[in-house]
Structure formats: structure tokens, C-alpha cells
Amino acid sequence: MIRIGISCGDTNGIGLEVVLKTLAQPEVREMAQFYLFCSAQVLAYHRNTMEVGEIPYIPAAPG
């Protein structure tokens, strides 16, 4: 299966919202393994406010 990494960009922008709405669709997630590169806190906030289920992510390393 293809693996795709996505950087979420500006935490105050719309990028993460667009990515989460897209990945919330099961047919999209079946196309590849998607990995989000972003802050765990920001991802959790947006996931909860948008009511999106679990999505694999790689939390940003400190420093």
C-alpha cells in the first residue's frame, strides 16, 4: 500500500481542517496509508471539534 505523509502547515490555517475532512471519508483512507505531521495537541483539538475519528499521525518532535 502507498504511504503518504502530510504536513499540516500553519496551525491557524485551514489546511488541517481540509485534511481531516478528506481523511474522514473511508474511501479516501482505503487508497493509501496517510500520516499527518503535526502537533498532537492541535490534531486532537481539531479532531474533537470536527468529530473526526482516529487518524494516524506522527507528533512533532520537541525542539
CB 50 within 8 A of CB 39: no
Measuring CA to CA, which residue among 18, 23, 13, 9 is closest to residue 60?
9
User: With a cut of 70, which residues of the chain have pLDDT below it?
Assistant: 55-60, 63
Supply the pLDDT for residue 48.
83
Measuring CA to CA, which residue among 33, 35, 36, 41 is closest to residue 8?
36
Three-state secondary structure call for residue 60: coil
Supply the pLDDT for residue 7.
86
